[in-house]
Amino acid sequence: MLTLHAMAGVIVLEGHYQGKNLFVQNPFSEAGVGFCVFEVTVNDKIATDEINSSAFEIDLGNYGLKLGDAVVVQIKHKDGCTPLVLNPEVLKPKSTFDIVRQSISTDGTYTWTTTNETGELPFIVEQKRWNKWVKVGEVMGIGTPGEHTYEFKVTPHSGENTFRVRQVDLTKRSRFSESVKYTDPSVAPVTWSPEKPKDMITFSAKTLYEIYDQYGNIVKRGYGDTIDVTDLKKDLYYLNYDNKMGETFIKR
């Protein structure tokens, strides 16, 4: 997490070392004598960078930091002027993980082992369902290099299941693992009734479900063994459930 705030002559940046340096725009002081910034500290150590110029670099490589290490930078400045940090985003976590191995055990425990993490970001667990990826959970990443192993208990539908993990960082781009397959032979196919419900649809077992209207708008989604449809107007609808999609019913 990166936080940036100014208080009585101090700008504080908190984040994690990503292997890049900070650049600061440094105006003259209000009195017109000397520059605005008078001291910089990195994790409470006074920076030795040359700060008496209109722009300067804070070299984070001077502090023995490893990728992913926590960093607190304090930029102390005179009153009546404010320096500008040009690239505070370099302390934000980036998704850099590599998957070493992943598997799903017979009891449905999805395990994946990573290396090369450089920031604390959640791993989003997704299941391929109804021709799209659906989020089914989240596990917080440790965010440091070295091997880390994570676990998540999946809820399978009948037949073959496909899962993966995903991360999104400040670039808004997703980084994915390879997908992994899993079949639980004890999970029976789900059935439902009636085809013309008035107030309730009943499933033979608990399942994720979605209901769409004829225009493709989603009107209900959830997890359970019943759906209350009393508030739906009389019309034709499409039902996704278990590993089935596009089945139709008419609301009475």
3-state class (DSSP) for residue 91: helix
Burial string for 98-120 (b: 16+ CB within 10 Å, else e) reads: ebeebebeeeeebebebeebbbb
Instruction: State the pLDDT at residue 94.
Output: 86
Q: Ramachandran region of residue 146, left (φ > 0), alpha (ψ -120 to 50) or beta? A: left
Instruction: Find the range with the poorest average confidence among 12-21, 125-134, 185-194.
Output: 12-21
Region 159-172: mean pLDDT is 94
Average pLDDT, the chain: 93
Asked if 238 and 248 count as a contact pair (C-beta separation under 8 A), the reply is yes
Instruction: Find the range with the poorest average confidence among 29-43, 217-231, 238-252.
Output: 29-43
Task: Assess whether pLDDT exceeds 50 at residue 191.
Answer: yes
Confidence of residue 68 (pLDDT cuts 50, 70, 90): confident
Confidence of residue 147 (pLDDT cuts 50, 70, 90): very high
Phi, psi of 206 (to 5 degrees): -65, 140
Region 182-201: mean pLDDT is 97
Distances (CA, A) of 124 to 32, 119, 147, 180: 52, 15, 18, 14
Task: Assess whether pLDDT exceeds 70 at residue 244.
Answer: yes
**109-115 and 22-25 as β-strands: parallel, antiparallel, unpaired?**
unpaired
Phi, psi of 36 (to 5 degrees): -65, -50
> What gap in Å lies between CA 64 and CA 57, rounded to an integer?
17
Confidence of residue 6 (pLDDT cuts 50, 70, 90): very low
Task: Assess whether pLDDT exceeds 60 at residue 46.
Answer: yes
Q: What is the pTM of this model?
A: 0.77
Region 93-108: mean pLDDT is 95
Residues 6 or more apart whose CB falls under 8 angstroms from that of 62 comprise 42, 47, 48
Region 133-152: mean pLDDT is 95
Instruction: Look at residues 228, 232, 249 and name the one whose alpha carbon lies nearest to residue 240.
Output: 249
**37-42 and 192-193 as β-strands: parallel, antiparallel, unpaired?**
unpaired
Chain-centroid distance of CA 169 in Å reads: 7
- Using a 10 angstrom Cβ sphere, with 0-12 exposed, 13-18 middle and 19 or more buried, the burial of residue 89 is middle
> What gap in Å lies between CA 186 and CA 130, rounded to an integer?
21
What is the share, in percent, of the chain residues with pLDDT greater than 90?
A: 84
> What gap in Å lies between CA 45 and CA 73, rounded to an integer?
9
Task: Assess whether pLDDT exceeds 70 at residue 5.
Answer: no
Confidence of residue 3 (pLDDT cuts 50, 70, 90): low
Instruction: State the pLDDT at residue 236.
Output: 97
Asked if 21 and 7 count as a contact pair (C-beta separation under 8 A), the reply is no
Asked if 130 and 162 count as a contact pair (C-beta separation under 8 A), the reply is no
